[in-house]
């Protein structure tokens, strides 16, 4: 894999902008779309490439301190594009065949505001930092800013989708979270954040056949509930497991509410998976990036071959 990372700092919105400049210069066949701007003015992007009829959507960076998966997506994308132009293989498959077999949509960093905070690049004393610090002060057991998962409004974006949202709200309220927090706050209503509203609208527009939601950690693949599994989901889960070495495990019932994957399964009734990459405590060290990139690249290849 081509190493794009020259320092140990986590993914930030500034780093993503630098990647986008390089992408536009080197690989103009990758289309870039701005989905929305966050409450603090950062852009959420979608990328598109491929000429196949089957659409694959990959999302990363819903959670602020899990954006090593965003770095892995960018690593894979540049590696794939170079292999495509050079006529080489990726994970044992011909890049050109993969390109013609699938239409790939990437949203590499759903939560750029939170990512910048968790990475430590929001300037102390800035309005956004002060707002987050005021929220974090109510939760002294959560490290600040490294333990931050939410956006800068204190909403956990992966608990803000209209799939059993009320159940998620009840569960989190019983756990003591009913207002903006570093993690686990569902928002005041589904899709009340610009990031989630834009991603949901974009997903409805493109109607993907398959969706992968990238998180950390656990090195595990979570499909949807068995009783509602779409056709082909079990075979795909096994293919992803064989490719990556990650086991397939049932999703904990209390975690199957208000997430992006939960909403996708409810609306589209098509295969969708949460991939929990890496091992340890978030935020994972960048020393795990090569192995995470290897595992995710293998899964992406299997998904494009489907």
The answer to whether the predicted template modeling score (pTM) of the entire model surpasses 0.95 is yes
**Looking at the domain assignment, is residue 185 inside a domain?**
no
pLDDT for position 192: 99
**Looking at the domain assignment, is residue 154 inside a domain?**
no
**Looking at the domain assignment, is residue 230 inside a domain?**
yes
**Looking at the domain assignment, is residue 177 inside a domain?**
no
**Looking at the domain assignment, is residue 282 inside a domain?**
yes
Residue with tokens 């609208």: 201
Catalytic residue numbers?
276
SS3 13: helix
Q: Please state whether 50 falls in left (phi above 0), alpha (psi between -120 and 50) or beta.
A: left
pLDDT for position 45: 99
- Domain enclosing residue 60, as ranges: 13-115+192-305
Rounded Cα distance, 183 and 61, in Å? 14
CATH number, residue 296? 3.40.630.10
**Looking at the domain assignment, is residue 89 inside a domain?**
yes
Type and span of the H or E element at 76: helix 68-86
DSSP string, 226-295: GGGPPTTHHHHHHHHHHHH-PPB-PPPGGGSSSSHHHHHHHHH-S-EEEEEES-SSSSPPGGGHHHHHHH
SS3 187: coil
Type and span of the H or E element at 154: none
**Looking at the domain assignment, is residue 180 inside a domain?**
no
pLDDT for position 5: 54
**Looking at the domain assignment, is residue 298 inside a domain?**
yes
Q: Is 213 exposed, middle or buried (0-12, 13-18, 19+ CB in 10 A)?
A: buried
pLDDT one digit per residue (tens) for the chain, 306 residues? 455 655 555 799 999 999 999 999 999 999 999 999 999 999 999 999 999 999 999 999 999 999 999 999 999 999 999 999 999 999 999 999 999 999 999 999 999 999 999 999 999 999 999 999 999 999 999 999 999 999 999 999 999 999 999 999 999 999 999 999 999 999 999 999 999 999 999 999 999 999 999 999 999 999 988 767 888 899 999 999 999 999 999 988 878 899 999 999 999 999 999 999 999 999 999 999 999 999 999 999 999 999
Rounded Cα distance, 223 and 85, in Å? 34
pLDDT for position 1: 47
Question: Total domain count for the chain?
Answer: 1
Going by DSSP bridges, is the β-strand pair 43-49/102-107 parallel, antiparallel, or unpaired?
antiparallel
- Angle at the Cα of 147 from the Cα atoms of 184 and 222, rounded to 5 degrees: 55
């Amino acid at each position: 894999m081509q190493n794009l990372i020259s320092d140990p700092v986590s993914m930030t919105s500034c780093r993503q902008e630098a990647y986008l400049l390089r992408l536009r210069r080197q690989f103009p066949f990758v289309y870039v779309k701005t989905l929305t701007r966050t409450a603090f003015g950062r852009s959420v992007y979608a990328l598109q490439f491929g000429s196949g009829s089957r659409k694959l959507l990959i999302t990363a960076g819903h959670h602020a301190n899990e954006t090593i998966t965003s770095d892995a997506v960018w690593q894979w994308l540049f590696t794939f594009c170079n292999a495509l132009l050079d006529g080489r293989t990726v994970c044992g498959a011909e890049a050109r065949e993969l390109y013609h077999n699938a239409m790939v949509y990437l949203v590499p960093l759903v939560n750029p505001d939170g990512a910048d905070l968790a990475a430590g690049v929001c300037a102390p004393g800035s309005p956004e930092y002060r707002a987050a610090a005021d929220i974090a002060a109510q939760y002294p057991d959560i490290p600040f800013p490294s333990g931050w998962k939410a956006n800068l409004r204190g909403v956990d974006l992966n608990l803000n989708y209209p799939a059993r949202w009320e159940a998620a709200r009840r569960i989190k309220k019983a756990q003591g979270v009913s207002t903006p927090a570093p993690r686990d706050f569902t928002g005041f209503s589904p899709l009340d954040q610009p990031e989630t509203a834009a991603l949901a609208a974009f997903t409805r527009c493109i109607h993907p056949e398959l969706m992968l939601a990238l998180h950390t950690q656990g090195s595990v693949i979570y499909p949807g509930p068995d009783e509602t599994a779409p056709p082909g989901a079990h075979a795909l889960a096994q293919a992803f497991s064989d490719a990556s070495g990650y086991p397939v495990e049932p999703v904990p019932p209390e975690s199957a509410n208000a997430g992006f994957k939960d909403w996708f399964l409810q609306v589209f009734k098509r295969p969708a998976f949460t991939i929990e990459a890496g091992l340890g405590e978030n935020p994972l060290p960048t020393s795990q990036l090569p192995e995470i990139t290897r595992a995710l690249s293998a899964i992406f290849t299997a998904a494009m071959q489907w």
